[in-house]
Amino acid sequence: MRIAYLDCFSGISGDMFLGALVDAGVPAKLLGDTVAALDLRARLEISRVVRGGIAATKVDVYAHGEKDLPREVFWEQQAKHSHAHSHDHGHDHSYEDHSHEHSHEHSGSRGTHHEHDTLTTHTGAPAPHSHEHQHGRGLSEIRKIIQKAAISATAKATAIRIFEALAAAEAEIHNSSVEQVHFHEVGAVDALVDIVCASVGAEALAVDQWICSPVNVGGGTVKCAHGTLPVPAPATVKLLQGAPVYSSGPQVELVTPTGAAIVKTLTTRFAPFPAMNIEKAGYGAGSREFPQHPNLLRLTIGEAVAQTGARPSEATVSNGVTTDEIAVLEANLDDLSPQVLAYAMERLLTDGALDVFSVPVQMKKNRPGALLTVLAKPEDADRLTKLMFKETSTLGVRRRNEQRQILSRRWETVDTSWGPVRIKIANMNGTISNYAPEFEDCRALAEAHHVPLKKIMEEALRKYSATNS
């Protein structure tokens, strides 16, 4: 089993995560193409820096041609703007009504990154001349932007789940609904880039499980639209519920809500460094240099190895074959439209199922029906069961846990005449047992260049065979 371990000894933010992905081998071009696919007048600036004597990758997001302002400058400008606005219009707006993403400085990320005011809850009628109501993006619009982007269905689903986690946390804090949470114009662009690139980059690593260390949240206080608050901020606390956290080192904010949402969505468990054969590691840099504290996020990738005394539910590895436990969910359906069943299967896959399939069955009273089967990680079983009830007509879902054995897998990329295609390679005892081109890569190229899908798949296989013969 291929695993990824996030070492959050200096917290985590969206851009630190992107830096760690690039440093660990995710092509910078892939992230750049992802930003272009969003069509938001944004770009990435990627550089090499040193933090605490360790070389790392730093990623900055430019939205509408601008980089974030320093906290002090931003607050000074907002104070002047608020004062002038109250004289011009005879009424006063709160800072929240005019803020973009820049309400405070996140020391663990960009030194000028201000993430808490990315989100604002609107519960009443728009105030006159309020910029946010003209430019704020609601969750439904965010979903549409992601769905339109030319990225894989899996990455889209992951990005949407991260945004939904962010919005749900803010909605609960402000006693509002998810749909009333708005992402401001600049903040929404920055958050979209961070989250969608994180989803695409995480998928590109092709790992089977994400594991996270206990999270250092930092300390002190932070300024935001709601005043000065203790670290971690309310949204971060909500998102990290159930996660082991601690405060160490500099008394500044080290975890942003976006970073917390990424951890909440991607990782399956929190644990000390797992037993693995390390393949590679990457470091994503924050903006500041802290004395005696490298401001970094480390991402380590490798193959899980067998552990003495491992519990039956934990993955073990023997002779290149991983054994783990999965949940099997089943439901018999004899009164559901084929179109609805197809949609339900797609939803289950995009919402985290390992596999979904149906087979025709003959049910009572000789009615033709379908047996819907969902394979899932045990920790996802309850959530996917609820989705089965929601999207199908079933009144009952059977559940059992079973062991499975899977071959070790890795990815290589080949360049075809139409663009790059990832090749999934299965190994047993270090010997290649099977390989195949990634379907979504081939389909995207076929649609973009109006070329038969099978032609792209054939060339991808030929290129891989030629370089590995």
Q: Residue 196: its pLDDT value, please? A: 96
Q: Residue 357: its pLDDT value, please? A: 96
Q: Residue 37: its pLDDT value, please? A: 92
CB contact at 8 A, 403 and 325:
yes
Contact residues for 226 (Cβ-Cβ < 8 A; gap 6+): 96
- The residues facing 322 across adjacent strands are 317, 406
Domains within the chain, CATH numbers bracketed: 1-305 (no CATH), 321-396 (3.30.70.1380), 408-467 (3.10.20.300)
CB contact at 8 A, 23 and 285:
no
Alpha carbon distance 253, 235 (integer Å) = 13
Q: Residue 412: its pLDDT value, please? A: 81
Q: Residue 263: its pLDDT value, please? A: 94
Q: Residue 200: its pLDDT value, please? A: 95
447 burial level (CB within 10 Å; 0-12, 13-18, 19+): exposed
Alpha carbon distance 31, 41 (integer Å) = 14
Q: Residue 136: its pLDDT value, please? A: 66
- The residues facing 2 across adjacent strands are 303
367 burial level (CB within 10 Å; 0-12, 13-18, 19+): exposed
Contact residues for 80 (Cβ-Cβ < 8 A; gap 6+): none
Residue written as token pair 């951890």: 263
Q: Residue 62: its pLDDT value, please? A: 87
Q: Residue 317: its pLDDT value, please? A: 58
Alpha carbon distance 178, 377 (integer Å) = 27
Series of mean pLDDT values for 10-residue runs along the chain (469 residues): 92 95 94 92 93 94 66 41 45 30 40 41 36 60 91 88 89 82 66 94 90 93 76 91 90 92 90 90 91 93 68 56 87 93 90 91 90 92 94 95 82 86 79 85 88 94 86
Contact residues for 368 (Cβ-Cβ < 8 A; gap 6+): 334, 360, 361, 362
Strand pairing class (269-270; 209-212)? parallel
Burial 14-25 (b: 16+ CB within 10 A, else e): bbbbbbbbbbbb
Half-sphere exposure of 162 (CA within 13 A, CB side): 29
